[in-house]
Structure 1
Amino acid sequence: MRGLELHGRELSRLAISEITTFRWSFEEDLQHYQAAGISALGIWRQKLTDFGADRGVELLLHRGLRASSLQWAGGFTGSEGGTHDESIDDACEAIRLASALGAPCLILHSGSRGIHTHKHARRLLRTAIDQLLPLAEALQVCLALEPMPREVGTDWTFLHDWNETLGLINDVGSEHLRAVLDLYYWGNDEKTLARLPELAPKLTLVQLADARQPPQLEPNRTPLGDGNLPLHSITEQLTAAGYHGYFEVELMGEEIEASDYHDLLRRSQQFFDRLPTT
Structure 2
Amino acid sequence: MKLAISQLTTLRWSTEEDVEAYRRHGFSAAGLWRPKLDELGIEKTAELFAENGMSVSSLSWAGGFTGSDGRGHDEAIEDAIEAVRAAEILGADTLIVLAGGHNNHIHGHAMRLLRHGLEVICEEAALTDLSIALEPIHPGCGSEWSFVGDIETTLDVVESMPESNVGLVLDAYHLAMNINSQEELDLLENVLPMVRLVQLGDARQTPLGEQNRCLLGEGRVPLQELITMLERSGYDGYYEVELIGEDVEPLPYEQVLQHTRAYFEDRLARMQ
| TM-score interval, normalised by the smaller of the two chains | over 0.9
Structure 1 position 238 matched with structure 2 position 230 = yes
Unaligned runs of 5+ in 1: 1-11
- Would the aligned equivalents of 1:186 and 1:192 in 2 still touch at CA under 8 Å? no
Distance 2:139 2:79 in 1: 26
Distance in 2 separating the partners of 1:16 and 1:192: 27
Task: Show the counterpart of 1:198.
Answer: 190
Map residues 24-103 of structure 1 onto 2, 5 A cutoff: 24-103=13-92
Give the TM-score taking structure 2 as reference length. 0.93
Helix, strand or coil at the partner of 1:193: helix
Between Structure 1 and Structure 2, how many residues are aligned? 267
Which residue of the other structure, out of 170, 177, 187, is the alignment partner of 2:176?
187
Give the secondary structure class of the aligned counterpart of 1:138.
coil
What is the SS of the residue equivalent to 1:244? coil
Which amino acid counterpart does residue 271 of structure 1 have in structure 2? Y
The one-letter code sitting in structure 2 at the alignment partner of 1:220 is N
Counterpart in 1 of 2:259? 267
Deviations 1:189-245 (A, max 9, x none): 338534121121111111111111111222221111111221111011122223211
- 1:7 maps to none
Residues 57 and 93 of structure 2 are in contact (CA less than 8 Å); yes or no, is this contact kept in structure 1?
yes
From 253, 267, 271, the equivalent of 2:245 is 253
How far apart, CA to CA, are the structure 2 residues paired with 1:241 and 1:50?
39
In 1, the alpha carbon distance for the partners of 2:250 and 2:126 equals 41
- Whether contact under 8 Å (1:201, 1:241) holds in the other structure is no
| Shift in Å, 1:156 | 0.7
Which residue among 199, 211, 221 is the counterpart of 2:203? Answer: 211
Q: Distance in 2 between matches of 1:114 and 1:216?
A: 20
**CA–CA distance in structure 1, aligned partners of residues 250 and 239 of structure 2:** 23
1:214 partner amino acid: T
Q: Please state how far the C-alpha of 1:181 moved relative to its aligned partner.
A: 1.1
**For 2:178 and 2:132, how far apart are their aligned partners in 1?**
24
**What is the DSSP-based 3-state SS (H/G/I as helix, E as strand, rest coil) of the residue aligned with 1:113?**
coil
Deviations 1:67-125 (A, max 9, x none): 11000011101112111111111101101111111111100001111111110010011
Q: Which portions of structure 1, spanning 4 or more consecutive aligned residues, are displaced by more than 6 angstroms?
A: none
Asked if 1 retains the 8 angstrom alpha-carbon contact of 2:178 and 2:221, the reply is no
Q: One-letter code of the match for 2:34?
A: R
Percent identical pairs in the alignment equals 42
Does the 8 A contact of 1:57 with 1:101 survive in 2? yes
Point out where structure 2 has 5 or more consecutive residues left out of the alignment: none
Change (3 A) 1:192 1:85: farther
Provide the aligned C-alpha RMSD in A.
Answer: 1.6
Matches within 5 A, 1:47-196: 47-190=36-179, 193-196=185-188
250 and 14 in structure 1: CA distance in 2 versus 1, 3 angstrom threshold: same
Distance 2:158 2:62 in 1: 17
Which residue is equivalent to 1:4?
A: none
Q: Distance in 2 between matches of 1:262 and 1:63?
A: 19
CA distance in structure 2 between the aligned counterparts of 1:151 and 1:19, rounded to whole angstroms: 20
